[in-house]
Structure 1
Protein backbone atom coordinates (compact mmCIF):
# COMPACT_ATOMS: atom_id res chain seq x y z
CA UNK A 1 0.00 0.00 0.00
CA UNK A 2 2.85 2.36 0.84
CA UNK A 3 4.54 1.82 -2.50
CA UNK A 4 1.23 2.25 -4.34
CA UNK A 5 0.81 5.55 -2.53
CA UNK A 6 4.03 6.81 -4.15
CA UNK A 7 2.61 6.20 -7.59
CA UNK A 8 -0.43 8.25 -6.64
CA UNK A 9 1.55 11.03 -4.93
CA UNK A 10 3.73 11.70 -7.94
CA UNK A 11 0.86 11.28 -10.38
CA UNK A 12 -0.73 14.49 -9.13
CA UNK A 13 -2.90 12.73 -6.50
CA UNK A 14 -1.20 13.54 -3.19
CA UNK A 15 -4.47 13.53 -1.21
CA UNK A 16 -5.30 9.98 -2.28
CA UNK A 17 -1.68 8.92 -1.60
CA UNK A 18 -1.93 10.31 1.92
CA UNK A 19 -5.19 8.45 2.57
CA UNK A 20 -3.71 5.19 1.30
CA UNK A 21 -0.53 5.39 3.36
CA UNK A 22 -2.53 6.39 6.46
CA UNK A 23 -4.63 3.27 5.95
CA UNK A 24 -1.43 1.23 5.66
CA UNK A 25 -0.17 2.77 8.93
CA UNK A 26 -3.43 1.88 10.70
CA UNK A 27 -3.19 -1.73 9.51
CA UNK A 28 0.52 -2.03 10.29
CA UNK A 29 0.81 -0.51 13.77
CA UNK A 30 1.76 -3.20 16.26
CA UNK A 31 1.89 -5.89 13.56
CA UNK A 32 5.02 -5.19 11.50
CA UNK A 33 8.72 -4.78 12.19
CA UNK A 34 9.97 -1.44 13.56
CA UNK A 35 11.96 -0.80 10.36
CA UNK A 36 8.86 -1.21 8.19
CA UNK A 37 6.90 0.99 10.59
CA UNK A 38 9.61 3.68 10.31
CA UNK A 39 9.33 3.42 6.51
CA UNK A 40 5.56 3.89 6.65
CA UNK A 41 5.79 6.85 9.03
CA UNK A 42 8.41 8.52 6.80
CA UNK A 43 6.25 7.96 3.72
CA UNK A 44 3.27 9.45 5.52
CA UNK A 45 5.39 12.46 6.51
CA UNK A 46 6.34 13.04 2.88
CA UNK A 47 2.71 12.88 1.76
CA UNK A 48 1.64 15.15 4.61
CA UNK A 49 4.05 17.83 3.41
CA UNK A 50 2.80 17.41 -0.16
CA UNK A 51 -0.66 18.13 1.25
CA UNK A 52 0.55 21.19 3.18
CA UNK A 53 0.44 19.80 6.73
CA UNK A 54 3.93 20.63 8.03
CA UNK A 55 3.07 20.15 11.73
CA UNK A 56 1.79 16.60 11.19
CA UNK A 57 4.78 15.96 8.91
CA UNK A 58 7.21 16.81 11.72
CA UNK A 59 5.26 14.57 14.10
CA UNK A 60 5.47 11.58 11.76
CA UNK A 61 9.17 12.15 11.08
CA UNK A 62 9.73 12.07 14.83
CA UNK A 63 7.80 8.82 15.11
CA UNK A 64 9.84 7.30 12.29
CA UNK A 65 13.07 8.20 14.08
CA UNK A 66 11.81 6.85 17.41
CA UNK A 67 10.85 3.42 16.04
CA UNK A 68 13.84 3.02 13.69
CA UNK A 69 16.08 0.20 14.95
CA UNK A 70 19.64 1.18 15.85
CA UNK A 71 21.08 -2.02 14.33
CA UNK A 72 21.86 -0.36 10.97
CA UNK A 73 20.95 -3.48 9.00
CA UNK A 74 20.33 -2.57 5.38
CA UNK A 75 17.43 -4.97 4.79
CA UNK A 76 14.50 -5.60 7.06
CA UNK A 77 14.70 -9.27 8.14
CA UNK A 78 10.89 -9.49 8.09
CA UNK A 79 10.51 -7.72 4.73
CA UNK A 80 13.64 -7.93 2.56
CA UNK A 81 12.31 -5.43 0.02
CA UNK A 82 12.57 -2.64 2.63
CA UNK A 83 15.99 -0.97 2.52
CA UNK A 84 16.23 1.47 5.41
CA UNK A 85 19.09 2.40 7.70
CA UNK A 86 19.42 5.40 9.99
CA UNK A 87 21.40 7.16 7.25
CA UNK A 88 18.65 6.46 4.70
CA UNK A 89 16.04 7.76 7.12
CA UNK A 90 18.08 10.96 7.64
CA UNK A 91 18.26 11.45 3.88
CA UNK A 92 14.50 10.86 3.62
CA UNK A 93 13.82 13.38 6.41
CA UNK A 94 15.87 15.99 4.60
CA UNK A 95 14.08 15.21 1.34
CA UNK A 96 10.76 15.75 3.06
CA UNK A 97 11.90 18.98 4.70
CA UNK A 98 13.25 20.24 1.36
CA UNK A 99 9.77 19.70 -0.10
CA UNK A 100 8.49 21.90 2.70
CA UNK A 101 10.99 24.64 1.87
CA UNK A 102 12.84 24.29 5.17
CA UNK A 103 15.99 26.48 5.03
CA UNK A 104 17.92 24.11 7.29
CA UNK A 105 17.36 21.32 4.76
CA UNK A 106 20.02 22.80 2.47
CA UNK A 107 22.76 22.60 5.09
CA UNK A 108 21.62 19.19 6.26
CA UNK A 109 21.41 17.79 2.72
CA UNK A 110 24.99 18.83 1.98
CA UNK A 111 25.99 16.95 5.14
CA UNK A 112 24.05 13.88 3.98
CA UNK A 113 25.76 14.10 0.59
CA UNK A 114 29.20 14.15 2.20
CA UNK A 115 28.42 11.21 4.50
CA UNK A 116 26.69 8.90 2.05
CA UNK A 117 28.18 5.89 0.30
CA UNK A 118 29.52 7.22 -3.04
CA UNK A 119 28.52 4.01 -4.83
CA UNK A 120 24.81 4.57 -4.10
CA UNK A 121 24.33 6.52 -7.33
CA UNK A 122 20.53 6.44 -7.37
CA UNK A 123 20.36 7.84 -3.85
CA UNK A 124 22.83 10.60 -4.72
CA UNK A 125 20.62 11.61 -7.65
CA UNK A 126 17.74 11.94 -5.19
CA UNK A 127 19.77 13.97 -2.71
CA UNK A 128 20.91 16.33 -5.46
CA UNK A 129 17.30 16.72 -6.65
CA UNK A 130 16.32 17.52 -3.08
CA UNK A 131 19.09 20.11 -2.89
CA UNK A 132 17.88 21.64 -6.14
CA UNK A 133 14.34 21.82 -4.75
CA UNK A 134 15.52 23.44 -1.52
CA UNK A 135 17.64 25.96 -3.47
CA UNK A 136 14.64 26.78 -5.67
CA UNK A 137 12.50 27.47 -2.62
CA UNK A 138 15.25 29.80 -1.39
CA UNK A 139 15.44 31.45 -4.87
CA UNK A 140 19.06 30.32 -5.28
CA UNK A 141 18.72 29.53 -8.97
CA UNK A 142 22.39 29.03 -9.92
CA UNK A 143 22.84 26.48 -7.12
CA UNK A 144 19.59 24.77 -8.08
CA UNK A 145 20.70 24.49 -11.71
CA UNK A 146 24.08 23.07 -10.70
CA UNK A 147 22.46 20.38 -8.54
CA UNK A 148 19.93 19.53 -11.26
CA UNK A 149 22.71 19.02 -13.81
CA UNK A 150 24.56 16.66 -11.48
CA UNK A 151 21.32 14.86 -10.60
CA UNK A 152 20.47 14.38 -14.28
CA UNK A 153 23.87 12.79 -15.01
CA UNK A 154 23.38 10.38 -12.12
CA UNK A 155 19.76 9.61 -13.01
CA UNK A 156 20.75 8.90 -16.61
CA UNK A 157 23.51 6.58 -15.40
CA UNK A 158 21.04 4.57 -13.28
CA UNK A 159 18.15 4.79 -15.75
CA UNK A 160 15.81 6.07 -13.05
CA UNK A 161 12.65 7.25 -14.75
CA UNK A 162 11.27 8.60 -11.47
CA UNK A 163 14.34 10.74 -10.83
CA UNK A 164 14.44 12.02 -14.42
CA UNK A 165 10.76 12.95 -14.19
CA UNK A 166 11.35 14.85 -10.94
CA UNK A 167 14.39 16.61 -12.42
CA UNK A 168 12.28 17.66 -15.42
CA UNK A 169 9.60 19.02 -13.08
CA UNK A 170 12.18 21.00 -11.11
CA UNK A 171 13.77 22.30 -14.34
CA UNK A 172 10.34 23.62 -15.27
CA UNK A 173 10.43 25.81 -12.16
CA UNK A 174 13.67 27.55 -13.14
Structure 2
Protein backbone atom coordinates (compact mmCIF):
# COMPACT_ATOMS: atom_id res chain seq x y z
CA UNK A 1 0.00 0.00 0.00
CA UNK A 2 2.90 2.36 0.74
CA UNK A 3 4.22 1.76 -2.78
CA UNK A 4 0.81 2.50 -4.33
CA UNK A 5 0.46 5.72 -2.36
CA UNK A 6 3.93 6.80 -3.42
CA UNK A 7 3.12 6.15 -7.09
CA UNK A 8 -0.15 8.11 -6.76
CA UNK A 9 1.64 11.06 -5.16
CA UNK A 10 4.34 11.09 -7.85
CA UNK A 11 1.80 10.89 -10.67
CA UNK A 12 3.08 7.56 -11.97
CA UNK A 13 -0.23 5.81 -11.40
CA UNK A 14 -3.89 6.76 -10.91
CA UNK A 15 -5.96 5.12 -8.15
CA UNK A 16 -8.54 2.66 -9.43
CA UNK A 17 -12.21 3.18 -8.62
CA UNK A 18 -12.09 1.04 -5.48
CA UNK A 19 -9.15 3.06 -4.13
CA UNK A 20 -10.89 6.29 -5.06
CA UNK A 21 -13.93 5.24 -3.09
CA UNK A 22 -11.77 4.51 -0.05
CA UNK A 23 -10.02 7.87 -0.36
CA UNK A 24 -13.31 9.74 -0.80
CA UNK A 25 -14.71 8.21 2.37
CA UNK A 26 -11.49 8.61 4.32
CA UNK A 27 -11.08 12.33 3.56
CA UNK A 28 -14.79 13.14 3.06
CA UNK A 29 -13.90 14.78 -0.29
CA UNK A 30 -15.21 14.42 -3.85
CA UNK A 31 -13.27 13.10 -6.84
CA UNK A 32 -12.78 16.66 -8.08
CA UNK A 33 -11.49 17.82 -4.70
CA UNK A 34 -9.05 14.91 -4.63
CA UNK A 35 -7.82 15.81 -8.13
CA UNK A 36 -9.26 12.79 -9.95
CA UNK A 37 -10.18 13.78 -13.50
CA UNK A 38 -12.02 12.02 -16.29
CA UNK A 39 -15.38 11.57 -14.54
CA UNK A 40 -17.02 8.54 -16.11
CA UNK A 41 -20.71 7.69 -15.79
CA UNK A 42 -19.64 4.92 -13.40
CA UNK A 43 -17.96 7.43 -11.08
CA UNK A 44 -20.96 9.76 -11.19
CA UNK A 45 -23.24 6.84 -10.40
CA UNK A 46 -21.05 5.77 -7.51
CA UNK A 47 -21.00 9.28 -6.06
CA UNK A 48 -24.78 9.53 -6.33
CA UNK A 49 -25.13 6.25 -4.48
CA UNK A 50 -22.64 7.43 -1.85
CA UNK A 51 -24.56 10.67 -1.30
CA UNK A 52 -27.82 8.78 -0.96
CA UNK A 53 -26.19 6.44 1.55
CA UNK A 54 -24.77 9.33 3.60
CA UNK A 55 -28.08 11.15 3.67
CA UNK A 56 -29.83 7.99 4.79
CA UNK A 57 -27.24 7.36 7.49
CA UNK A 58 -27.46 10.89 8.85
CA UNK A 59 -31.26 10.69 8.86
CA UNK A 60 -30.88 8.18 11.71
CA UNK A 61 -29.07 10.71 13.93
CA UNK A 62 -31.25 11.76 16.87
CA UNK A 63 -30.82 13.36 20.29
CA UNK A 64 -29.59 10.07 21.78
CA UNK A 65 -26.77 9.74 19.24
CA UNK A 66 -25.89 13.42 19.65
CA UNK A 67 -25.59 12.73 23.37
CA UNK A 68 -23.25 9.83 22.60
CA UNK A 69 -21.04 12.11 20.49
CA UNK A 70 -21.00 14.59 23.37
CA UNK A 71 -19.98 11.88 25.85
CA UNK A 72 -17.21 10.73 23.51
CA UNK A 73 -15.86 14.28 23.37
CA UNK A 74 -15.79 14.49 27.16
CA UNK A 75 -14.12 11.08 27.44
CA UNK A 76 -11.37 12.30 25.11
CA UNK A 77 -11.08 15.48 27.20
CA UNK A 78 -10.52 13.49 30.40
CA UNK A 79 -7.86 11.36 28.69
CA UNK A 80 -6.19 14.51 27.38
CA UNK A 81 -5.88 16.01 30.86
CA UNK A 82 -4.16 12.90 32.17
CA UNK A 83 -2.19 11.47 29.26
CA UNK A 84 -1.68 14.50 27.01
CA UNK A 85 -2.69 15.28 23.46
CA UNK A 86 0.00 13.50 21.44
CA UNK A 87 -1.64 10.06 21.56
CA UNK A 88 -5.14 11.41 20.92
CA UNK A 89 -4.68 13.58 17.81
CA UNK A 90 -5.73 10.96 15.27
CA UNK A 91 -8.59 9.70 17.42
CA UNK A 92 -9.82 13.26 17.92
CA UNK A 93 -9.59 14.03 14.21
CA UNK A 94 -11.63 10.92 13.36
CA UNK A 95 -14.24 11.90 15.96
CA UNK A 96 -14.55 15.37 14.44
CA UNK A 97 -14.76 14.04 10.86
CA UNK A 98 -17.64 11.81 11.94
CA UNK A 99 -19.58 14.69 13.52
CA UNK A 100 -18.77 17.05 10.64
CA UNK A 101 -19.90 14.43 8.13
CA UNK A 102 -23.30 14.13 9.77
CA UNK A 103 -23.62 17.90 10.04
CA UNK A 104 -22.79 18.25 6.34
CA UNK A 105 -25.57 15.85 5.39
CA UNK A 106 -28.32 16.78 7.86
CA UNK A 107 -31.30 18.87 6.81
CA UNK A 108 -33.15 18.71 10.15
CA UNK A 109 -32.78 22.01 12.06
CA UNK A 110 -32.85 20.47 15.53
CA UNK A 111 -30.29 17.82 14.60
CA UNK A 112 -28.04 20.40 12.97
CA UNK A 113 -28.08 22.57 16.09
CA UNK A 114 -27.28 19.59 18.31
CA UNK A 115 -24.44 18.42 16.08
CA UNK A 116 -23.08 21.96 15.81
CA UNK A 117 -22.98 22.31 19.60
CA UNK A 118 -21.02 19.07 19.94
CA UNK A 119 -18.71 20.06 17.08
CA UNK A 120 -17.99 23.46 18.64
CA UNK A 121 -16.85 21.78 21.85
CA UNK A 122 -14.91 19.02 20.07
CA UNK A 123 -13.27 21.48 17.67
CA UNK A 124 -12.03 23.72 20.48
CA UNK A 125 -10.63 20.68 22.31
CA UNK A 126 -8.93 19.41 19.15
CA UNK A 127 -7.45 22.84 18.55
CA UNK A 128 -5.99 22.97 22.04
CA UNK A 129 -4.59 19.46 21.66
CA UNK A 130 -2.98 20.28 18.32
CA UNK A 131 -1.51 23.48 19.75
CA UNK A 132 -0.04 21.58 22.69
CA UNK A 133 1.43 18.98 20.33
CA UNK A 134 3.12 21.68 18.25
CA UNK A 135 0.76 21.49 15.25
CA UNK A 136 -0.16 25.17 15.09
CA UNK A 137 -1.68 25.16 11.58
CA UNK A 138 -3.90 22.20 12.40
CA UNK A 139 -4.90 23.93 15.65
CA UNK A 140 -5.98 27.06 13.79
CA UNK A 141 -8.21 25.02 11.45
CA UNK A 142 -9.85 23.27 14.41
CA UNK A 143 -10.50 26.57 16.17
CA UNK A 144 -12.02 27.99 12.99
CA UNK A 145 -14.29 24.95 12.74
CA UNK A 146 -15.29 25.37 16.39
CA UNK A 147 -16.20 29.03 15.85
CA UNK A 148 -18.27 28.27 12.77
CA UNK A 149 -20.08 25.47 14.58
CA UNK A 150 -20.79 27.70 17.57
CA UNK A 151 -22.28 30.31 15.23
CA UNK A 152 -24.57 27.71 13.64
CA UNK A 153 -25.57 26.45 17.07
CA UNK A 154 -26.43 30.02 18.05
CA UNK A 155 -24.42 29.71 21.28
CA UNK A 156 -22.55 32.81 22.51
CA UNK A 157 -21.06 30.66 25.28
CA UNK A 158 -19.49 28.13 22.90
CA UNK A 159 -18.38 30.93 20.59
CA UNK A 160 -16.71 32.85 23.44
CA UNK A 161 -14.92 29.68 24.55
CA UNK A 162 -13.75 28.86 21.02
CA UNK A 163 -12.44 32.42 20.56
CA UNK A 164 -10.71 32.27 23.94
CA UNK A 165 -9.00 29.01 23.04
CA UNK A 166 -8.01 30.33 19.62
CA UNK A 167 -6.43 33.35 21.30
CA UNK A 168 -3.82 30.98 22.73
CA UNK A 169 -2.67 30.23 19.18
CA UNK A 170 -1.98 33.96 18.84
CA UNK A 171 -0.06 33.90 22.11
CA UNK A 172 1.91 30.89 20.93
CA UNK A 173 3.08 32.71 17.80
CA UNK A 174 4.13 35.73 19.87
CA UNK A 175 1.17 38.07 19.41
CA UNK A 176 -0.28 38.72 22.91
CA UNK A 177 -1.85 42.03 21.84
CA UNK A 178 -4.12 40.39 19.29
CA UNK A 179 -4.83 37.65 21.82
CA UNK A 180 -6.05 40.37 24.18
CA UNK A 181 -8.26 41.79 21.42
CA UNK A 182 -9.75 38.35 20.86
CA UNK A 183 -10.57 37.95 24.55
CA UNK A 184 -12.20 41.37 24.64
CA UNK A 185 -14.37 40.31 21.72
CA UNK A 186 -15.29 37.05 23.44
CA UNK A 187 -16.31 38.96 26.58
CA UNK A 188 -18.55 41.27 24.54
CA UNK A 189 -20.66 38.46 23.08
CA UNK A 190 -23.19 38.48 25.91
CA UNK A 191 -23.81 37.94 29.58
CA UNK A 192 -21.82 34.78 30.26
CA UNK A 193 -22.16 32.34 33.18
CA UNK A 194 -19.91 33.23 36.16
CA UNK A 195 -17.50 30.35 35.51
CA UNK A 196 -16.94 31.38 31.89
CA UNK A 197 -16.65 35.03 32.95
CA UNK A 198 -13.92 34.06 35.41
CA UNK A 199 -12.13 31.96 32.78
CA UNK A 200 -12.15 34.79 30.24
CA UNK A 201 -10.89 37.26 32.85
CA UNK A 202 -8.02 34.94 33.81
CA UNK A 203 -7.07 34.48 30.15
CA UNK A 204 -7.13 38.27 29.81
CA UNK A 205 -4.77 38.46 32.80
CA UNK A 206 -2.36 35.99 31.21
CA UNK A 207 -2.33 37.87 27.90
CA UNK A 208 -1.86 41.20 29.68
CA UNK A 209 1.11 39.70 31.52
CA UNK A 210 2.52 38.43 28.23
CA UNK A 211 2.21 42.01 26.96
CA UNK A 212 4.23 43.21 29.97
CA UNK A 213 1.32 45.04 31.63
CA UNK A 214 1.45 44.14 35.33
CA UNK A 215 -1.38 46.44 36.44
CA UNK A 216 -3.89 45.18 33.88
CA UNK A 217 -2.89 41.58 34.55
CA UNK A 218 -3.47 41.84 38.31
CA UNK A 219 -6.78 43.64 37.81
CA UNK A 220 -7.96 40.94 35.44
CA UNK A 221 -7.11 38.21 37.93
CA UNK A 222 -8.94 40.13 40.64
CA UNK A 223 -12.02 40.17 38.40
CA UNK A 224 -11.60 36.47 37.76
CA UNK A 225 -11.52 35.77 41.51
CA UNK A 226 -14.61 37.90 42.06
CA UNK A 227 -16.51 36.13 39.27
CA UNK A 228 -15.50 32.60 40.26
CA UNK A 229 -18.61 30.86 41.68
CA UNK A 230 -18.52 28.91 44.91
CA UNK A 231 -19.67 25.78 43.10
CA UNK A 232 -17.36 25.45 40.11
CA UNK A 233 -18.85 22.19 38.82
CA UNK A 234 -21.10 23.42 36.01
CA UNK A 235 -22.51 20.60 33.86
CA UNK A 236 -23.33 23.13 31.15
CA UNK A 237 -19.62 24.00 30.86
CA UNK A 238 -17.82 20.62 30.83
CA UNK A 239 -14.93 22.18 28.91
CA UNK A 240 -13.93 24.42 31.84
CA UNK A 241 -12.01 23.18 34.89
CA UNK A 242 -11.43 26.21 37.04
CA UNK A 243 -11.42 26.46 40.82
CA UNK A 244 -9.44 28.36 43.44
CA UNK A 245 -6.38 26.11 43.05
CA UNK A 246 -6.30 26.40 39.26
CA UNK A 247 -6.92 30.15 39.38
CA UNK A 248 -4.07 30.56 41.87
CA UNK A 249 -1.81 28.54 39.54
CA UNK A 250 -2.91 30.69 36.61
CA UNK A 251 -2.18 33.93 38.47
CA UNK A 252 1.19 32.59 39.63
CA UNK A 253 2.08 31.68 36.06
CA UNK A 254 1.31 35.22 34.90
CA UNK A 255 3.36 36.69 37.76
CA UNK A 256 6.26 34.39 36.89
CA UNK A 257 6.08 35.63 33.31
CA UNK A 258 6.33 39.19 34.67
CA UNK A 259 9.23 38.33 37.01
CA UNK A 260 7.09 39.23 40.04
CA UNK A 261 8.35 37.88 43.38
CA UNK A 262 4.79 36.97 44.46
CA UNK A 263 4.76 34.22 41.85
CA UNK A 264 6.52 31.71 44.11
CA UNK A 265 3.89 32.21 46.85
CA UNK A 266 0.96 31.60 44.48
CA UNK A 267 2.61 28.69 42.69
CA UNK A 268 3.66 26.97 45.91
CA UNK A 269 0.10 27.31 47.25
CA UNK A 270 -1.25 25.86 44.02
CA UNK A 271 1.18 22.94 44.23
CA UNK A 272 -0.17 22.13 47.68
CA UNK A 273 -3.85 22.29 46.73
CA UNK A 274 -4.22 21.25 43.08
CA UNK A 275 -5.55 17.78 42.29
CA UNK A 276 -2.43 16.39 40.64
CA UNK A 277 -3.83 13.01 39.56
CA UNK A 278 -6.04 13.91 36.57
CA UNK A 279 -4.36 17.20 35.64
CA UNK A 280 -0.89 16.16 34.50
CA UNK A 281 -0.54 18.96 31.94
CA UNK A 282 -1.46 21.54 34.59
CA UNK A 283 1.09 19.99 36.94
CA UNK A 284 3.74 20.13 34.21
CA UNK A 285 3.06 23.80 33.63
CA UNK A 286 3.16 24.41 37.36
CA UNK A 287 6.67 22.97 37.62
CA UNK A 288 7.77 25.03 34.60
CA UNK A 289 6.37 28.20 36.19
CA UNK A 290 8.10 27.45 39.50
CA UNK A 291 11.36 26.94 37.61
CA UNK A 292 10.93 30.35 35.98
CA UNK A 293 10.04 32.03 39.28
CA UNK A 294 13.00 30.50 41.17
CA UNK A 295 15.35 31.35 38.31
CA UNK A 296 14.25 34.98 38.46
CA UNK A 297 14.75 34.91 42.24
CA UNK A 298 18.30 33.62 41.74
CA UNK A 299 17.70 30.17 43.26
CA UNK A 300 19.51 27.97 40.75
CA UNK A 301 19.06 24.67 42.62
CA UNK A 302 15.28 25.02 42.97
CA UNK A 303 14.97 26.12 39.36
CA UNK A 304 16.94 23.10 38.15
CA UNK A 305 14.85 20.72 40.26
CA UNK A 306 11.61 22.03 38.78
CA UNK A 307 13.05 22.02 35.25
CA UNK A 308 13.90 18.33 35.59
CA UNK A 309 10.41 17.48 36.88
CA UNK A 310 8.69 19.61 34.24
CA UNK A 311 10.73 18.08 31.42
CA UNK A 312 10.03 14.55 32.69
CA UNK A 313 6.26 15.16 32.79
CA UNK A 314 6.21 17.06 29.48
CA UNK A 315 7.93 14.13 27.78
CA UNK A 316 5.33 11.76 29.23
CA UNK A 317 2.40 13.69 27.78
CA UNK A 318 4.19 14.75 24.59
CA UNK A 319 3.64 18.47 25.13
CA UNK A 320 5.86 20.24 22.62
CA UNK A 321 4.45 23.57 23.76
CA UNK A 322 5.65 23.04 27.33
CA UNK A 323 8.96 21.52 26.27
CA UNK A 324 9.69 24.65 24.25
CA UNK A 325 8.79 26.77 27.24
CA UNK A 326 11.09 24.76 29.49
CA UNK A 327 13.96 25.07 27.02
CA UNK A 328 13.66 28.86 27.11
CA UNK A 329 14.21 29.10 30.90
CA UNK A 330 17.37 30.97 31.77
CA UNK A 331 19.11 29.73 34.90
CA UNK A 332 20.95 32.23 37.12
CA UNK A 333 24.52 32.80 35.98
CA UNK A 334 24.02 31.37 32.48
CA UNK A 335 23.28 32.80 29.05
CA UNK A 336 21.12 29.83 28.04
CA UNK A 337 19.02 27.15 29.68
CA UNK A 338 20.90 24.17 31.01
CA UNK A 339 21.11 21.64 33.80
Normalising by the residue count of structure 2, what TM-score does the alignment of the two structures yield? Answer: 0.48
Q: Which runs of 5+ in 1 are unaligned?
A: none
Look up the match of 2:256.
98
Which stretch shifts more, 131-140 or 148-157? 131-140
Q: How does 1:1-174 map to 2 (within 5 A)?
A: 1-28=163-190, 30=191, 32-73=192-233, 76-119=234-277, 120-170=279-329, 172-173=336-337
Runs of 4+ in 1 over 6 A off after TM superposition: none
Question: How many angstroms does 1:70 deviate by?
Answer: 0.6
What is the rounded CA distance, in whole Å, between the counterparts of 1:49 and 1:173 in structure 2?
22
What is the rounded CA distance, in whole Å, between the counterparts of 2:170 and 2:306 in structure 1?
26
Asked whether the equivalents of residues 287 and 309 of structure 2 are also in contact (C-alpha less than 8 Å), the reply is: yes
What is the rounded CA distance, in whole Å, between the counterparts of 1:109 and 1:46 in structure 2?
14
Question: How many angstroms does 1:27 deviate by?
Answer: 2.0
Coordinate RMSD, CA, aligned: 1.6
Look up the match of 2:33.
none
Question: How many angstroms does 1:149 deviate by?
Answer: 0.8
What is the rounded CA distance, in whole Å, between the counterparts of 2:214 and 2:321 in structure 1?
24
What is the rounded CA distance, in whole Å, between the counterparts of 1:111 and 1:62 in structure 2?
17
What is the rounded CA distance, in whole Å, between the counterparts of 2:217 and 2:265 in structure 1?
20
What is the total number of aligned residue pairs between the two structures? 170
Q: Which runs of 5+ in 2 are unaligned?
A: 1-162, 331-335
Name the larger-Rg structure: 2
